[in-house]
A and B are shown apart, each in its own frame.
Chain A
């Protein structure tokens, strides 16, 4: 059974870059799409973007190109860099396996990691 685990700093200063990693266990990262989704009281669930094992990506335009998702198939990991963060980026960040069946759906989620943006 595939499991996902997010890791990264819990606290980031405004204007800095937050880097998060999702480690996939119990299955291969190959031949799947993988997503980052964040959740905050103010904005609810917000899809950030996804990546395929080849490196092909698609992002939410609302992030104005601040997000970059990358994949390391040798480590079975994928990562999110979000730069120029502000308090509005404070949220729980989830990684999720994304299945493509008609549309794209998030069928396995990590527990999430809280990122707080504060000086």
Chain B
């Protein structure tokens, strides 16, 4: 099973700042097989990025993804109040599909 480790566990920033979230895989992944999700309180997760750097439909270009091998990054520029949420990475390179434990982005 591929284990995804996200860091930091909690990230405290202010509106207008840039956030950088990390996801480390226990095995090398093709960049095609990494996604990011956002989950606001009381809501289901929402797909942000797939294939490491492709934005899902309707996702703002302030979200960007990068990385390869075992290290992947989600960057959120110009933080707005709605961006403060929990972010998860997910891999689809192997079965079972697995998620990271999440990074909480808080004000």
Contact = CB atoms under 8 A, between A and B. Distances in A.
Interface of A: 44-47, 58, 60-62, 94, 99, 101-107, 109-112
Contacts of A61: 95-96
A105 B50 contact: yes
A105 B44 contact: no
A97 to B, nearest CB: 10
Q: Chain B interface residue count: which class?
A: 20 to 34
Contacts of A110: 44
Contacts, number: 66
Contacts of B95: 58, 60-61
30 contacts: A44-B102, A45-B88, A45-B99, A46-B99, A47-B97, A61-B95, A61-B96, A62-B96, A94-B44, A94-B45, A99-B50, A101-B54, A102-B32, A102-B33, A102-B50, A102-B92, A103-B32, A103-B34, A103-B50, A103-B51, A103-B93, A104-B92, A105-B50, A105-B92, A106-B37, A106-B90, A107-B56, A107-B57, A110-B44, A112-B44
Nearest to B31: A102
Q: What is the predominant secondary structure among interface residues of chain A facing chain B?
A: strand
B11 interface: no
B47 interface: yes
B101 interface: yes
Nearest to A112: B44
Nearest to A107: B47
Contacts of A112: 44
A111 B43 CA distance: 6
Nearest to A45: B99
Contact of B47 (A58, A62, A105, A111): A105
Given A45-B88, A109-B44, A111-B44, A103 B99 contact: no
A44 B90 contact: no
Contacts of A62: 96
